Amino acid sequence: AVSQTGCPSRGGQLVRVSRVDAWAQRAMGTTGDQPFLSKLRMQGDDDRLYDLFITDRALRFSDRGEQNWHVIPRSQVSTVTIYDTDRAWFSEDRPKVWTFAAICGFGSWGLMKLWNRKAEGMLQKEVVPILTGLPCFWTGLKIGPYMFRKREVFDGSSVEVQTPVSRFVFECGDAKARELVRMFC
C-alpha cells in the first residue's frame, strides 16, 4: 500500500507516499476544490458554519478555518433522508417602522409648536408639544409593524446523513438536496 518515488526537486531523495495519505488528501479537499454547500449550520452545533465537500469516497464537513472536521467515508453512510421544510413567516421592516414612528412623533411635535407659537409661558410652548410628540412616536412604533410587514419564505429541505455511529443534520435548498440524493443513487 506504500509506493516509493524519487523526487528530482529534492535531489532524488525517496519520498514515501501511501494510498491512505492520497485518499485523505482527496477526501479532505486539500486539492482546492469548491464546496458542494457552504455556510451550513449543523443541528446541535449552532456555533459554527460548515462547508460540505463531496468526493467519490467521502463527505467532508469543515469550518472556514479548517479547525473542526467531520469526514464520513461514503461506504459508512447508511441512509440519507430528506425532509421538506418550507416555512413562511412575517417580519417587520424595522428601518421603515422607526422612520414612520419618528415622522409621527416629530410631526405632531412640530404641529403643536406651530399651533402654540403665540402662546405665553414655557408650559404651552415647550412641554405640551413634547407631551403630544411622545405618544405619537409610541403609537407609530405600535402601528408601524402592521403597515410595513415583509413575508419571509424559506424554501428548503432538511438533510439527515446517518452513519452507524452518528447522525448529521443540516438544512439546504431543495435543488441541492435533490442533487445530493442523486449522488447516492
Q: Convert the pLDDT of each residue in 114-143 to its tens digit.
A: 888 777 777 777 888 888 889 999 999 999
The 3-state DSSP composition of the chain as helix, strand, coil percent (nearest 5) reads: 40, 40, 20
Residue 21: pLDDT band by 50, 70, 90 thresholds?
very low
- Tens of pLDDT, residues 56-109: 888 888 888 778 888 888 888 888 888 888 888 888 889 999 999 999 999 999
Contacts of 183 (CB under 8 A, 6+ apart): 54
Q: Which residues pair with 42 in a beta bridge?
A: 45
By CB atoms closer than 10 A (0-12, 13-18, 19+), residue 1 is: exposed
The predicted pLDDT at position 103 comes to: 94
Please give the pLDDT value at position 77: 87
Percent pLDDT > 70 in the chain is: 82
- pTM, entire model: 0.51
**Looking at residue 143, what is its pLDDT?**
92
